[in-house]
Chain A
Amino acid sequence: MTNQAPLELANITKRYKDGDQYIEVIKDLSFHVHKGEFVAVIGPSGSGKSTFLSIAGALLSPDEGKVLVNGEDIATYPDKAKADVRLRTIGYIFQSANLVPYLRAKDQLKLVSEMAGKWSKTNEKRVKDLLNGVGLSSRNNHFPHQLSGGEKQRVAIARAFMNEPDIILADEPTANLDGDRSTEIVELIAKEVKDKEKAAVMVTHDENLLKYCDRIYRLADGQLTLEK
């Protein structure tokens, strides 16, 4: 079991209808991430990075192929079951922090725990630890509008780790941040992924961030090619 990759895509194909013909955005793509591994996927815009990440993240079903999460093929799961996989097994970090505007930082984390039905008093310490871990120990009670862009993204990272997912997916997590802030954030994600032994995939176009990643793939013409 220890060698089981938490996330594996096997021969994935995804087509979109464009006018009267179909375009294959992803063609027969295979991919996997191991625990404690931080993998980057780069590629020009329009190359299907978001589609790739949506399929990996149980948001979109592929037309062909298997999506194996901890060995289970979720490609054919109904919507409700996929929502459950997203809630319990996958942590997302989006381009913008996408926090809930009316919740304090600690409540952002509490919310995902509550949705999973896992909330208890002992989790309060976990919230604190996670926020400490992203360097926000003094900002537990702040609303999103009181936080800077970088701080918001840190809360989003803590939120992604809250339900102890096996997989972390980051969709251009630094797109809205300046260079220094970007480095900090990716450093943080890399650190958390290593410390907590998660399988992580980051989609990005910022080549400066790749030094934190274990493997780098380029997505072009619907195929992944290993760069490093």
Chain B
Amino acid sequence: MFALALKEIRFFKVKYTLIGFILFLIAALVFIVSGLARGLAFDTAVAMEEMDAERFYLETDADEQLVRSRFMLSDLEEEIDREAGWEPLLLHRIRLDLVDSDFRENVTLVPVDPDSFVYPGVVTGESIESSTDLYIVVDESLQADGVEVGDQLYNEESELQLTVVGFAENQMYSHMPLAYIAEDAFASMEIVPDSVANAILLQESDEELEARIENIISGGNWLTKDAVVQATPGYSAQQSSLMMMIAFLIIIAVFVLASFFYIITIQKINQFGVLKAIGAKNSFLVGATVLQVFSLAVISIGVAIAFTVFVQMNLPPGMPFVFDLSLLFVYSGILLTVSLLGALLSSVKIVKVDPQQAMGRAE
């Protein structure tokens, strides 16, 4: 059955190469668009996705958006010690210029207690410590712009220089790199009033603590991390439009393959009739057709994966593109499944072929 399927593909090379090529193009587009979607999601919200916190307390009228929420923390700090498990999260956008260079970048400064769960740690360089030294740990994307450990970054607003001591990974939010700074150092910069925060974070869900915090600071509600990620400006708009493109591509793949194999099947009706007349069973003929679709789909998707790797390696560095192998396998699985579903339409036709038509028929 398999040999028969492959012999036919080999004999009608052009026909099957054409359909394989179309499937390859669709699969490659699905992979590239999904890589782009992951890339955009990465730039938009990866810092929150990776944040080691489950519960976010935001102002009720902030539309679940971190940057629109703002709390005064002085009451809370008096009533509940931070040892109890809560951490403030403040995102403060500033501009930094690299001394002796044209590099300038908007970053989001995040004051943290370096021992708390909010602080992600470094992948290169050294960590910050609780002190008033103006040291920062920034997202590693700045490395691509030529920033190195030890560089001085100048902030015009406060007329202060910050020293890069290390780099952290996956710390992008709203298309800006995050820069972590020790709380005491941030306070010493005197650019925002003391004790403000965008949100209050809990590492894990804790109903009792959540209720106590709500009692002291009213006007907010507790959200999951996922809700905060989804509400990041632009996040769901980007993701839903790209996902719609992917869904359409998959639907197109179904119809292109289904109609192609349907036409091939109709062309082969006589041949199926003869084969049935000499004793071929439906399962044999349907099996051979399904195997053809399967082989074509596996080869096309395989080539598309290789092509996506090639594209990813040749993209300009600033391009938001994330090659997520597990996601790629998910889409490959979906494409393979829908291809086989498309072939089922032809199977109905094959089952209906009457072997008797082989009789009394002059070609």
B275 and A59 contact, CB distance less than 8 A: no
**For the complex, is B284 an interface residue (Cβ under 8 Å from A)?**
yes
Q: Which of B1-19 contact A (CB under 8 A)?
A: 1, 3-4, 7-8, 10-12
- A175 contacts which chain B residues (CB < 8 A)? 362
B363 and A171 contact, CB distance less than 8 A: no
Q: How would residues 44 to 60 of chain A score, 1 for a CB under 8 Å from any chain B CB and 0 otherwise? A: 00000110011001011
B8 and A102 contact, CB distance less than 8 A: yes
> B279 contacts which of A83, A172, A176 (Cβ < 8 Å)?
A83
User: Shortest Cβ distance from A79 into chain B, in angstroms?
Assistant: 8
B10 (CB) vs chain A CBs: closest residue? A102
Q: Which of B276-295 contact A (CB under 8 A)?
A: 276-281, 284
Q: A60-B356, A176-B363 are contacts. A84–B11 as well, Cβ < 8 Å?
A: no
B359 and A84 contact, CB distance less than 8 A: no
**For the complex, is B274 an interface residue (Cβ under 8 Å from A)?**
yes
> B362 contacts which of A60, A83, A95, A100 (Cβ < 8 Å)?
A95
> A115 contacts which of B12, B284, B356 (Cβ < 8 Å)?
B284
**For the complex, is A38 an interface residue (Cβ under 8 Å from B)?**
no
Q: Which of A55-100 contact B (CB under 8 A)?
A: 57, 59-60, 80, 83-88, 90-92, 94-96, 98, 100
> B277 contacts which of A59, A84, A102, A163 (Cβ < 8 Å)?
A59
Q: How would residues 237 to 280 of chain B score, 1 for a CB under 8 Å from any chain A CB and 0 otherwise? A: 00000000000000000000000000000000011001111111
B356 (CB) vs chain A CBs: closest residue? A59
A side interface size, CB within 8 A: 39
CA distance A84 to B279 in the complex (A): 6
**For the complex, is B360 an interface residue (Cβ under 8 Å from A)?**
yes
A97 (CB) vs chain B CBs: closest residue? B363
User: Shortest Cβ distance from B57 into chain A, in angstroms?
Assistant: 67
CA distance A107 to B11 in the complex (A): 13
- B12 contacts which chain A residues (CB < 8 A)? 102
> A171 contacts which of B276, B278, B355, B359 (Cβ < 8 Å)?
B359
> A94 contacts which of B3, B7, B274 (Cβ < 8 Å)?
B274
B361 and A94 contact, CB distance less than 8 A: yes
**For the complex, is B67 an interface residue (Cβ under 8 Å from A)?**
no
Q: How would residues 324 to 363 of chain B score, 1 for a CB under 8 Å from any chain A CB and 0 otherwise? A: 0000000000000000000000000000000110111111
**For the complex, is A116 an interface residue (Cβ under 8 Å from B)?**
yes
CA distance A111 to B270 in the complex (A): 17
**For the complex, is A101 an interface residue (Cβ under 8 Å from B)?**
yes
**For the complex, is A103 an interface residue (Cβ under 8 Å from B)?**
yes
**For the complex, is A143 an interface residue (Cβ under 8 Å from B)?**
yes
A102 and B11 contact, CB distance less than 8 A: yes
CA distance A98 to B363 in the complex (A): 8
Q: Which of B202-228 contact A (CB under 8 A)?
A: none
A49 and B360 contact, CB distance less than 8 A: yes
CA distance A53 to B277 in the complex (A): 12
User: Shortest Cβ distance from B208 into chain A, in angstroms?
Assistant: 68
**For the complex, is A159 an interface residue (Cβ under 8 Å from B)?**
yes
B359 and A50 contact, CB distance less than 8 A: yes
Q: A53-B359, A171-B359 are contacts. A103–B7 as well, Cβ < 8 Å?
A: yes
A86 and B363 contact, CB distance less than 8 A: no
- B361 contacts which chain A residues (CB < 8 A)? 94-96
User: Shortest Cβ distance from A83 into chain B, in angstroms?
Assistant: 5
CA distance A84 to B283 in the complex (A): 12
- A80 contacts which chain B residues (CB < 8 A)? 281
CA distance A173 to B10 in the complex (A): 30
Q: A59-B359, A95-B362, A175-B362 are contacts. A100–B279 as well, Cβ < 8 Å?
A: no
Q: How would residues 100 to 130 of chain A score, 1 for a CB under 8 Å from any chain B CB and 0 otherwise? A: 1111000100011011100000000000000
Q: A95-B361, A143-B11 are contacts. A101–B271 as well, Cβ < 8 Å?
A: yes
A60 (CB) vs chain B CBs: closest residue? B356
B360 (CB) vs chain A CBs: closest residue? A50
- B280 contacts which chain A residues (CB < 8 A)? 83, 87, 115
- B8 contacts which chain A residues (CB < 8 A)? 102
Q: A49-B360, A101-B11, A101-B271 are contacts. A112–B355 as well, Cβ < 8 Å?
A: no
- A87 contacts which chain B residues (CB < 8 A)? 278-280
7 residue pairs, one from A and one from B, having the closest CB atoms: A87-B279, A50-B360, A102-B11, A96-B363, A86-B279, A98-B274, A59-B356
17 residue pairs of the A-B complex, CB under 8 angstroms, read: A49-B360, A50-B359, A57-B359, A59-B277, A59-B355, A84-B281, A86-B278, A86-B355, A87-B279, A87-B280, A94-B358, A94-B361, A95-B360, A102-B8, A114-B3, A160-B278, A172-B360
- List 19 additional A-B contacts (Cβ < 8 Å) besides A100-B271, A107-B7: A54-B359, A57-B359, A80-B281, A84-B279, A84-B281, A86-B279, A92-B277, A94-B277, A94-B358, A96-B361, A96-B362, A98-B270, A98-B358, A98-B363, A101-B271, A103-B7, A112-B279, A175-B362, A176-B363
